[in-house]
Amino acid sequence: MAGRMASRTAVVTGAGSGIGAAIARGLAAEGANVVLADLNDQAVQAVADGITADGGAALAMHVDVTSRAQVQAAVAATVERFGRLDVWFNNAGMNAPMPFLEITEENFERIMRINAIGVLIGIQEAAKRFLEQGGGGKIVNTASIAGRTGFPSFAPYSASKAAVISLTQAAARDLAQHGITVNGFAPGVVATPLWKQLDADLAAMGAADSGFDSMAADILLGRPAQPEDIVPTALFLACSDSDYITGQIVAIEGGMILV
């Protein structure tokens, strides 16, 4: 398939839903071979099947991003199926809100393990493969506006996304010598299944003022994002148009926190 991602192979974690599914579809529509990695086997297979039905090249894989062995297996399967790896999206993530004074070590560790350690492992394992290929390659991380400012109802999530921003900068500094770029984007409020559980949890906490509707009400452009609003920037960061950009986080938040 022709396009900006022609003959490139990209892995997207968390591709079974929301933003990751939209990115995988967008990459495939631009000609990429896409490996869709997710915990949810049924969901990720359905997204991959949709891409294949549209004439794209897709492989669905069960991957828990907190397992280095499973991430390594995803790299190996990608290379076996498509011959090489060009782009790695660390997109899988979750939230589990708690009132600030009640946050437990367990809550903090769970969120950090998936959202931050998962990104560290993804960066490392993708970069190792890029080095085996002689350098080059792109890594794109899903941060959040919550990494730019702390939200009291989900402080561990904010901390984990600040970690994603720091990891992006540190990895960019370390990997530039090998021609590898590392960037990220920070969505604001995106209409995805993540918010269903989050809104229910926030309502149960009595913190509806940080729910989807109230946060979306403050967006300058007058509406929350749809997953498709994220795709053009994701594509830009994955293709050669962004070759001279590294260590950056692009905010995609419709005018919200403006930092």
Ligand X SMILES: NC(=O)c1ccc[n+]([C@@H]2O[C@H](COP(=O)([O-])OP(=O)(O)OC[C@H]3O[C@@H](n4cnc5c(N)ncnc54)[C@H](O)[C@@H]3O)[C@@H](O)[C@H]2O)c1
Q: Least CB distance from residue 20 to ligand X, whole Å?
A: 6
Q: Is 78 helix (H, G, I), strand (E, B) or coil?
A: helix
Quick one: residue 3, left, alpha or beta (phi over 0 = left, psi -120 to 50 = alpha)? left
Q: Least CB distance from residue 138 to ligand X, whole Å?
A: 18
State which residue, 33 or 192, has the beta carbon closest to ligand X.
192
| Beta bridge pairs of residue 112 | none
| Beta bridge pairs of residue 184 | 141, 249
Whole-number Å distance between alpha carbons of 245 and 136: 13
Residues near 177 by Cβ (< 8 Å), separated by ≥ 6?
Answer: none
State which residue, 121 or 177, has the beta carbon closest to ligand X.
121
Interhelix angle for 155-175 vs 105-112, to 10°? 40
Task: Given the residues 88, 89, 154, 157, select the one marked as catalytic.
Answer: 157
Contact residues for ligand X, defined by CB under 6 A: 13-14, 16-20, 38-40, 43, 63-66, 91-94, 114, 118, 142, 144, 187, 189-190, 192-195
Residue pair 254/155 in contact (Cβ under 8 Å)? The answer is: no
Whole-number Å distance between alpha carbons of 64 and 149: 28
- Told to judge if 157 belongs to the known catalytic residues of this protein, a careful annotator would answer yes
Q: Least CB distance from residue 237 to ligand X, whole Å?
A: 14
Q: Least CB distance from residue 255 to ligand X, whole Å?
A: 15
Catalytic residues, by residue number, are 157
